[in-house]
Structure 1
Amino acid sequence: MALPSVFQLQCSCNRYPWGMKGSDGLAAQLCEKTPGWDSKGPPTKFKIDENEAYAEMWMGTYPELPSYVLSTGQNLQDVIDRNKDQLIGEAVLEKFGHSNLPFLPKVLSIAKALPLQLHPNKEMAAELHKKDPSNFTDPNHKPEIALALTDFEAFAGFKPLEKIHQLLKLKPLEQFLPKSGSFGQEDLREVVRQMLTAEEDVVFRPPMNEFNILVTELGKGEQEVINPIEGPTVSICTSGRGTLSANGEDFKLGEGTVWFVGKGTEVKLESDSNLVMHTAYADPST
């Protein structure tokens, strides 16, 4: 029997103390609906404990909190390792040098201020992991992209102009850097205006080429075809209901369901009720 290139995932949720209590957080809500697995692993089912704090729902192959194939209970990494060429693809294997999923989508529910984190670059991460693997468990760096799934408020006071000028030289922000070379109050005002009025494709464009994101929003009865890419994807339905069709098979989508799609697979999405899908993918051609 041929291995399917689309299968539903069973994921789980971290219980960090800064997470939201019980069913207040979207991470726990989606994990329970996935259906997720509890701390003992599959086939245990994730059930929300209203006294627990749930911080992050992880969807991927990271060994600390791996995903499993819902229909078989197999570890996603084991399935990928046995079917690298079909699910990951030669181009992605060559680019990254391993068969691990090269990204880790998460849903975060934050109730308290998070501790300050300093992420090393790729070279330093590999060096630290080699020297002290028990404390530095991952040899990779951690470029990240954050998408707001619900309304939230954030505040950051303006830094001194010279520090803002330096920040605008960072890769994700350099597109807003004034070409004149000077940077005063009027320049800052123009930078803020450009950021607040930027087109959606500018805002959502990843600043690095190691992975990409795609947000699909469909009204009731609408359809969209997602063309094949030469790399793997993981998608989560964050709202609504619908159908995912691939390779002649139909899969029911509901809030909290998570899906792995192997490389080179065309996917059609059809909405039953205002469907929203968030997808992370690695495309070696970009």
Structure 2
Amino acid sequence: MNTYAIGDLQGCHAEFVDLLEAIDFDPGRDRLWLAGDIVNRGPGSLDCLREVTALGDAAVTVLGNHDLHLLAVARGGAALNRKDTLDDILAAPDREALLDWLQTRPLLVRETLGHDTLMVHAGLLPQWSLDQAARLAGEVETVLDSERAGTFLARMYGNAPALWCDDLDGIDRLRGIVNVFTRMRFIDAAGRLDFAAKEGLDSAPSGFAPWFQYPRADDVQLLFGHWAALEGKTPDSRINAQALDTGCVWGGSLTALNLASGERTSVPSRKRN
């Protein structure tokens, strides 16, 4: 049995199929860890959702910011953005079943795979212990699986608070958790998030650095997507952080990391052709 971690699909269904063929993936034998953002910006968001759900227990995925955006549009009254490619999902006959499945995905998964391994979409604050991170993720997951989900999704967006405090409550607390797990790139030494810089490492604001360049008190392998500009690399990382998003939807590639061997397998984006 092999376990593979794959970065952001973002609607790149044809490449997803190519990658599963390239790694000879067998859902009866192997497992997939998907780092979120299954949907949006690519042409095959609906097919990606259907493909992943059809894998059943062979696939584990966390929520990404684009997945949450789909839920906010469908169930929180948010508006579609000009570049969104979500219409096929919203009009699908199996829309509600797919949205129900997506809404019950976690923000964090953790397992011992030869090494303590944790996957999130964007990153993990160095100030948070693994147990604390799991508890905080659970707070949001509980709300998403409750009658309060629509209200939360309607108020989820926003850049405040940018700095986590343990005594945050209400929507500020939930938004702060979501922003760390699904939007974080650069932070300062106190853990304050910058939301403006989205490109490569040279776009870091003064006083900020990538979250993975700050040390942690534990020894964990962290898997994350979200940051296509890294091209799957984490230079000067102070921790064992594996970047999985290699920018398929932007013309890069889609990559699978074998968690046992460390081998990476990539297929090119068809956007090049």
Fold match, TM over 0.5?
A: no
State the structure with bigger RCO (CA 8 A, min sep 6), 1 or 2. Answer: 2
More strand by share: 1
Greater C-alpha Rg: 1
After TM superposition, the score normalised by the length of structure 2 is: 0.30
Q: What's the TM-score once normalised by structure 1's chain length?
A: 0.29
